[in-house]
Structure formats: C-alpha cells, structure tokens
Amino acid sequence: MSGVPLGSGACCPPRAEGITYLEIGPRRIKVGMMGLETVFQQLYALGRRPEEATDAELVGMARKSNYIPERPTTEADYAVALREAYARFYARQEKKR
C-alpha cells in the first residue's frame, strides 16, 4: 500500500490499475483519472489524430468517468493534459502497426 490511510483525502493510490495520472495546469497538479484508456481507444478507432480531437470532445469523454470542474480555464487545462496523454497513446498504437 501507499502508506496513506484510507479516507485521508488522497485521490488515488499509486499505480492503481485503470488510473492514468495527468499533470494539470501551469502548476502541473497530478490528478488520477479513470477510463482514459477506453476513451483513447474509442478516439483511435474513430481515426481521430490527437490534433483533430476537440477540447470539448476530450473533456466530455473523460468527464463520463471523472469529475472535471465546469470552469473554462480548468476545462482548457484538462484538455491540454488529455491531448498530451492521447498523443502518447496514439504514438504507441502507430508503432504497433
């Protein structure tokens, strides 16, 4: 275990299965998000390149399994981090081809 007691307010245990960690915003705050692998697989199956996915699409799909505050600047910060993570996923998929 991580040594952090349950209920301590910590978001996610380190290396939890199904959790993708992103650094959000200019302060690079680490946030654990669930279900991003599925989101990225769906985007890839649709043939969407990272630069083609819209901010609204990335945030909207991630929001289905995660809390993302509904503030424009916060959503924009999440969109940047999600696009970076999707770009890494996309590159890995392309290498497999």
**HEC sequence for 18-80:** CEEEEEECCCCEEEEEECHHHHHHHHHHCCCCCCCCCHHHHHHHHHCCCCCCCCHHHHHHHHH
**CA 83/CA 80 separation, integer angstroms:** 5
pLDDT in tens, 50-95: 999 999 999 999 999 999 999 999 999 999 999 999 999 999 999 9
Quote the pLDDT of residue 18.
84
Task: Look up the pTM and report it.
Answer: 0.81
Band (97; pLDDT cuts 50, 70, 90): confident
Mean pLDDT of the chain: 87
pLDDT in tens, 44-59: 999 999 999 999 999 9
Residue 4 has pLDDT above 90, yes or no: no
Quote the pLDDT of residue 82.
98
